[in-house]
Amino acid sequence: MRVNIMFGLGHVHSVEQYMETVRLLQSAIAELTQHPDPMKPKTAIILRDTNGNRVGVIDILEDRQ
């Protein structure tokens, strides 16, 4: 299984991109720990900015063969 976390930072000023990266990674951790079921391939979890806009995704993928 592979986990890809991808998000954009175009929604924040360049001086705030570091802190937004930290916030989004903390959000990703919170999302993953809130799921009681084991992670399964083909699962996607949406990452959002503080206004609720979609800015990224966590994709759970099958291993590459």
What SS3 class is residue 27?
A: helix
Helix (H) and strand (E) counts in the chain: 1, 3
What SS3 class is residue 30?
A: helix
Strand order in the sheet with 54-61: 2-7, 54-61, 43-48
Residues 40, 63: Cα–Cα separation, whole Å? 11
Q: How many domains does the chain have?
A: 1
| pLDDT tens, residue by residue, 36-50 | 788 889 989 999 999
Give residue 60's Cα distance to chain centre: 11
- Residues spanned by the domain of 44: 2-61
**Average pLDDT across the chain, whole number:** 90
What is the pLDDT, as a whole number, of residue 5?
Answer: 93
